[in-house]
A = this chain, B = another copy of it.
């Protein structure tokens, strides 16, 4: 089986990408520490046509050489906004009628694979700090908390992997 070349893949330019209809999905990063993770989330968001990323609190913003190292330019294609306070981003989402889905292991969480988003809806995934997770005040504003089931010895996944799984889940539900 022959590997596809860059020409076979025929990706969009940044200009064409920006003008295209996006997945009705916003990614909110609540105080993400690692520039590597932020860049990787930009790259995944580019692949699945995420509407926008809201970078909040200590989450770094482009331009950044470190974000670029893992985003590989996706920080120029994907729309982003910065909010010093995550709660302000949540207020914007609520005001526009977006369902706020916090990625967190809480006592009343819904398992990711059991959550079936309505294809006509608008959604936001909120992911939190690498150690402390999503701030409790933000969790309290969630319309739903989505949990990725885990069966190993560790307590969580890498945040870029968690957000990747969640974006893929919404992509499969909303796009197909």
Q: How far is the CA of A7 from the CA of B176 in the complex (A)?
A: 39
For this chain, the copies found in one complex come to: 2
Q: Is there an interface contact between B152 and A1, defined as CB atoms closer than 8 Å?
A: no
Q: How large is the interface on A (under 10, 10 to 19, 20 to 34, 35 or more residues)?
A: 35 or more
Q: How far is the CA of A45 from the CA of B161 in the complex (A)?
A: 12
Contacts of A153 in B (CB 8 A): 11-14, 17, 46, 73-74, 77
Q: Is there an interface contact between A158 and B44, defined as CB atoms closer than 8 Å?
A: yes
Q: How far is the CA of A9 from the CA of B3 in the complex (A)?
A: 42
Q: How far is the CA of A2 from the CA of B133 in the complex (A)?
A: 12
Contact with B along A6-47 (1 / 0, CB 8 A): 101101111001000000000000000000100010011111
Cβ-based interface call for A4 (8 A): yes
Cβ-based interface call for A106 (8 A): yes
Partner pick for A4 among B40, B48, B107, CB 8 A cutoff: B107
